[in-house]
Structure 1
């Protein structure tokens, strides 16, 4: 089954983040991108939609107000920066409630719920860091901790430590960037600065100076690493 999808958010960057994550889900067909509830209502009146990724804070009419106007709403995943509307959302029978910035891993879990509600099994997905190990074990404080490579946006060197960035969450681990380069090379991680090792699957955009990650982090590309950075969007 292919799910016909509508994205409704008044922030263009939010659309960009969602579109990036949705590349990993070929069973979703994007029908339209809307920036207000009025635009979304017009699309819904013209054609069937199976799923809406819906922001709450929209101009004129909020996402929750829009849902109340729909006689037979499709499945809805609320995507918002505000946690306080969760109870109101679930009272309207939304499938899931995601807080911005949305990680690819969290969106995938929500989409699995969509498929289950539709009576379909969740597909077997390939991790974003495919091609090598799916996990890495690092020492955090006094314990060893396993990290899912697909969820890691980047590693940031910090002396004899590294900052492991998973969305907005940062974990300080005992390692060096050089050691991580060797451990994550097979998974496709690329060094773009003397202090940054990035997961190409989380790169939204890049130019000659900066790249932007799915957690909205911006990293300056080092002069010595510009050729490597260009490989991120080069087909293999």
Structure 2
């Protein structure tokens, strides 16, 4: 779970970001700050993975605030002023969102955070917990589906989405396959192809370059053959 804060003096901006992020199951809002000084006090006592930072704020501007932080969280700039983009990227911000921005554009920015943060470390706790609690929530079709991992057969990449094949149904998820490779227990789930992750205990048999799971045939990628062979060698 990626923890984030919002730093913006406009309440409407908080509402929009919070609403968009509420549709992303892997991020969690921990603080809404309405000026840089409030954010500074919070960050002195707490650690977050990333922050949405407005530029034009009273007393202390967003970029000036960012310069004061010796070890800042990953930063997504949110502003109506495009002329500060170069300065923002010189400060190693992850992305620069021009207001008003769409949900898709925000998702792209958050995905950049996910790519730069060591998600394996962040998710160690959730992975350990999953050994006890085998249920996770999957965002798909404007719903959050609760899935028992014991029912999961395999996962297939589907562009920027994924298809989760369960014993009795198939769910299209809004996450990329790399997200599931990160959060699933590697002892129970194996990447066997750039587009497929399989549940090891659901494999019926392996034949040539394919894996049979129930009535499904899953291909084995050339670069994954050695990993698959470890299952039986």
TM-score normalized with structure 2 length: 0.52
RMSD over equivalenced CA pairs, Å: 2.0
Counterpart for residue 18 of structure 1: 17
Counterpart for residue 98 of structure 2: 99
Counterpart for residue 47 of structure 2: 48
Counterpart for residue 231 of structure 2: none
Matched residues in 2 for 1:62 and 1:79: separation?
12
Matched residues in 2 for 1:127 and 1:61: separation?
42
1:77-122 Cα offsets, whole Å, 9 max, x none, are 000001000000000000000011121100000011000001449x
1:148-163 equivalences under 5 Å are none
1:31-180 equivalences under 5 Å are 31-120=30-119, 126=140, 128=142
Deviation of 1:127 after TM superposition, in Å, equals 6.0
Deviation of 1:129 after TM superposition, in Å, equals 9.8
Assess, with a 3 A threshold, how the Cα gap between structure 1 residues 49 and 120 changes in structure 2: closer, same or farther. Answer: closer
1:103-150 Cα offsets, whole Å, 9 max, x none, are 1100000011000001449xx9646599xxxxxxxxxxxxxxxxxxxx
Aligned length: 127
Matched residues in 1 for 2:14 and 2:5: separation?
11
Preserved contact between residue 49 and residue 117 of structure 2 (Cα < 8 Å): no
Deviation of 1:7 after TM superposition, in Å, equals 0.3
The structure 1 segments of at least 4 consecutive aligned residues displaced by more than 2 Å after TM superposition are 124-130
Counterpart for residue 208 of structure 2: none
Assess, with a 3 A threshold, how the Cα gap between structure 1 residues 52 and 25 changes in structure 2: closer, same or farther. Answer: same
Assess, with a 3 A threshold, how the Cα gap between structure 1 residues 23 and 88 changes in structure 2: closer, same or farther. Answer: same
Preserved contact between residue 35 and residue 58 of structure 2 (Cα < 8 Å): yes
Counterpart for residue 6 of structure 1: 5
Matched residues in 2 for 1:81 and 1:70: separation?
23
Greater relative contact order, per chain length (Cα 8 Å cut-off, separation 6+): 1
TM-score normalized with structure 1 length: 0.51
Preserved contact between residue 78 and residue 96 of structure 2 (Cα < 8 Å): yes
Matched residues in 2 for 1:81 and 1:32: separation?
22
Assess, with a 3 A threshold, how the Cα gap between structure 1 residues 23 and 59 changes in structure 2: closer, same or farther. Answer: same
Gaps in structure 1 of 5+ consecutive residues: 131-236
Matched, 1:28 2:37: no
Preserved contact between residue 25 and residue 139 of structure 2 (Cα < 8 Å): no
